[in-house]
Amino acid sequence: MNLPGKRMTWTAREYILPVQERVLIMGVLNVTPDSFSDGGRYQGVDAAVARAEAIEAEGADLLDLGGESSRPGARPVSLAEELARVLPVVTALAGRIRIPISVDTTKAEVARQALDAGAAVINDISALRDDPGMADVVARGRAGLILMHMQGSPATMQEHPAYEAVAEEVGDFLQARVEAAIAAGIDRERIAVDPGIGFGKTGEQSLALLGGLSVFHALGRPIVIGPSRKSFVGAVLERPVHEREWGTAAAVAAGVLEGAHVVRVHSVAQMKDVARMAQAIREAQAVSHGRTSISAP
């Protein structure tokens, strides 16, 4: 948890995201044919815009737009294809919704054009490793940045994920990637970190990460988690993708109690309530333990 009295900010272009006031909700919008949860539902621009507006109306603090599936086993798409999926939606949404638009991409050119069109955050699941131009694009664009841990690539990450101590190893990786981002000219205040639940992790490893988020508090950056409808939830409950909302709710609550600042989810309104309730419990615990700062982990 943040040290009492120590302030943390997360900025993204003109936005100052209130990570110390409350847990933020990042609503997922995939404009892909093959995403594991909602692939194909929002491929058309009109459908995507309507869903984005609904995500905002449900209370999301950010919109995360993805044009390339990162589900286990997914294969890369071309730059042209990803741009064709993402850019028209960003262009249509810029000025139409008030919440910041995050673009989930590992390609510097997609990031550059998305930022030019009005996006404010780049969510890079490769943590700046896939494209050597990404750091410069983020730095020049004054964008917010999410650095995520992933063992392997989406195509291979679930084959044989192995760790000796998953939380500590992921923490070390994220520390190194934060330092690399800063060295590349990205302001520290613009960086958030994501331990990558379900990305190159077994179900047990994902559960261990959720229970070990305290490791990442030492990074001093907002912690983003994305447990929504993931396979580890399905494995525990023996439920298909669209029957995992209760399990997702439990994972969101556990993550917030452990100090998550941002939760990336599909069902915005429901998980907003879950996060608010979990934060209220977390704050009550802070009071009972005599901490002077209870507004954030």
Q: Which residues carry out catalysis?
A: 230, 264
Alpha carbon 265 to chain centroid distance? Answer: 9
CB 17 within 8 A of CB 57: no
Look up residue 2 and give its DSSP letter: P
Cα 297 to Cα 278: distance, rounded to the nearest angstrom: 12
- The three-class DSSP label of residue 103 is strand
CB 40 within 8 A of CB 34: yes
82 contacts: CB under 8 Å, gap ≥ 6: 67, 68, 105, 107, 110
CB 254 within 8 A of CB 211: yes
CB 217 within 8 A of CB 293: no
Cα 215 to Cα 258: distance, rounded to the nearest angstrom: 10
CB 106 within 8 A of CB 82: no
- The three-class DSSP label of residue 24 is strand
